[in-house]
A = this chain, B = another copy of it.
Amino acid sequence: MTALPIDTPAVLVDLDIAEKNIRDFQLYCDQHNLRLRPHIKTHKLPALAEYQLGQGAIGITCQKVSEAEAMVEGGEMKDILITYNVIGAEKIARLRALSTRVNLSVVADSARVILGLSAGFADAEHPLPVLIECNTGADRCGVSTPEQAADLAQMVEASPGLQFAGLMTYPPAGGAEKVSQWLSAAIEKIEDRGLKVGIISSGGSPDMWQAHLMPVATEYRIGTYVYNDRSLVERGTCDVSDCALTVLATVVSVPSANRAIIDAGSKVLTSDLLGLEGYGHVVGHDNIVIDQLSEEHGRLVSKQSIDLEVGQQVRIIPNHACVVSNMLDHVILMRGDVIDHKEQVAARGQVW
């Protein structure tokens, strides 16, 4: 690898690859009549959100009010779904402000969340669309049964300032059939009560190429696919050549024949393992394992000779791209090995 004129450690994003990833999955969604609503948590960059919309995405997904604010401030956004229970008067006031600038919708999975949203939007000009979050097996947020989903749908519809808009789930990987049954049962119960289920929103990167196996869903949310990462390579979702985000690091020490130390530690690669061995893939060095991270040191070991020199640059595909792009104030946008420009990660570092 030729050394890049970039101080390390740095987070590099190859725009050619990212844009191809966006186009490829948009094409898949178009072919399967699925509405694509990419999650911007992965890149947190308004420019990439605009590219996603330009290719045909129907809107974006955010996980935090501050992410939505950063997207609206930094780009042309028309439609944002925040897939999170928004709680507290301060955040709901910010939601209300956002709702005057963009088509905004949110989710809820309890009466407490619905009451808070209604209090904030009761006197709003337009009702806030609310989707009921359903636990279809991932055991994170979401109501536990289709019956509860119907109860909350009815409550939303009856709440001042709110409008029932549909169902949202973050499904367990590989669970298409079970998830479809769950959602179909909920739709039936909700329709029995005279309500229409407009949107059925599912998502997740690991199963992205099987999204069409869950025809009950009307839209698909996905984040990691824009950059991809080692976890998706290991699952077979993408190839190494599809990985747009890498960490550029410099070898700062080669203390023994089988060990080298780089200037990228847990404060850039993060400690996310996602079930993998080691903290990333050193591109072009399949024999090397990143077996240990300190805050600013990464330890590279090999059963063979480590074959690295002090001062040499290496590029690392991290285990989990979404958390790495959140670690530094800036990313370096590249086209191949040519530096395009340095860009601030607009939506990182905010409290909420």
By a beta-carbon cutoff of 8 Å, the part of chain A in contact with chain B is: 7-10, 41, 63-64, 84-85, 87-88, 90-91, 109-110, 112-113, 116, 135, 139-144, 250, 252-256, 259, 261, 263, 266-267, 270-273, 292, 294-297, 299, 309-311, 322-323, 326-330, 349-352
Contact = CB atoms under 8 A, between A and B. Distances in A.
Given A63-B295, A141-B252, 7 more contacts: A8-B351, A85-B252, A109-B255, A110-B310, A113-B310, A141-B297, A328-B351
Given A63-B295, A141-B297, A255-B144, A267 B87 contact: no
Contacts of A272: 266, 271
A267 B352 CA distance: 11
B140 A299 contact: yes
Nearest to A138: B294
A255 B310 contact: no
Given A255-B141, A272-B266, A310-B112, A322 B295 contact: yes
A9 B84 CA distance: 14
Nearest to A248: B351
Contact of A256 (B88, B144, B292): B144
Nearest to A293: B272
Contacts of A261: 140-141
A90 B296 contact: no
Nearest to A91: B7
Contacts of A143: 255
A116 B141 CA distance: 53
Contacts of A263: 84, 87, 352
A237 B238 CA distance: 45
The 8 closest A-B pairs by CB, nearest first: A329-B349, A112-B310, A271-B271, A85-B252, A141-B253, A63-B296, A271-B272, A141-B261
A297 B292 CA distance: 26
A108 B329 CA distance: 28
A271 B297 CA distance: 17
A90 B7 contact: yes
A311 B328 CA distance: 31
Contact of A109 (B7, B9, B253, B294): B253
